[in-house]
A and B are shown apart, each in its own frame.
Chain A
Amino acid sequence: QVQLQESGPGLVKPSETLSLTCAVSGYSISSGYYWGWIRQPPGKGLEWIGSIYHSGSTYYNPSLKSRVTISVDTSKNQFSLKLSSVTAADTAVYYCARGGYSYGLPYDYWGQGTLVTVSS
């Protein structure tokens, strides 16, 4: 059974960099699939942040592209998200998920999500 678990600070100061890691178990990232990040501001809908193919190719939401970096560490079987210059608008529950081979869709396995609050 594939499982994903997000981890990282729950509180980030404005203008700093948000860093999250998604640990994957039950499947080797290096074997395939896309690995993505999706966020959900409190009380709002889902927003796609970006994804990384197991080979390292990355794809980002144009609205966030200048601030986002997604990377993969196959030795630890995990992938990471960095979002720079955060503001209160970046406060959200952040989910990691496994994406299928059709351009990264669909997302079939999801982490439980982690709330990140941007506040001084």
Chain B
Amino acid sequence: QSALTQPASVSGSPGQSITISCTGTSSDVGSYNLVSWYQQHPGKAPKLMIYEVSKRPSGVSNRFSGSKSGNTASLTISGLQAEDEADYYCCSYAGSSTPVVFGGGTKLTVL
């Protein structure tokens, strides 16, 4: 069982917007603005899409945005494109005893 809870799957049509949630606790997501999101296509390494809740690395499309409220972080993808179909993982700092925790992953299907 993963430390952070994500929906197993979400789907949307091209052009639409979707949101993936990532629920943790007051010991991880709720206490630190250190949530990051990773995109993983089949057979490939994960790619950093969002860090520190809402910051985008250079080269990542502004269609990807992140936010946080309480113990839940969210990744929103607007203007869905076929290439966005992938698995998405959230990650958070969780304190000195277990520094890094990942979510179980969400499979995004573009219909």
Contact = CB atoms under 8 A, between A and B. Distances in A.
Interface stretch (A17-25, A72-80, A106-114): A106-114
B103 interface: yes
- What's the dominant secondary structure at chain A's contact region? strand
Given A102-B52, A105-B36, A48 B93 contact: no
B99 A59 contact: yes
B89 to A, nearest CB: 5
B51 A113 contact: no
B7 interface: no
Interface string B77-111: 00000000000010101000111111111000000
B102 A104 contact: no
Nearest to A111: B45
B46 A46 contact: yes
A88 B55 CA distance: 38
A62 interface: yes
Given A45-B104, A105-B91, A51 B99 contact: yes
A7 interface: no
Contacts of A100: 51
A118 B89 CA distance: 26
Nearest to A96: B45
B46 A107 contact: yes
A16 interface: no
A27 interface: no
Contact of A46 (B32, B47, B57, B102): B102
A46 B99 contact: no
B69 interface: no
B48 interface: yes
Best-surrounded residue of B34, B98, B100, B101 (most CB of chain A within 10 A): B100
Given A45-B2, A45-B89, A102-B34, A61 B98 contact: yes
Interface string B34-71: 10101000001111100110000100000000000000
A105 B95 CA distance: 12
Given A46-B105, A61-B98, A100-B51, 7 more contacts: A48-B101, A51-B99, A62-B98, A95-B45, A105-B91, A106-B36, A107-B38
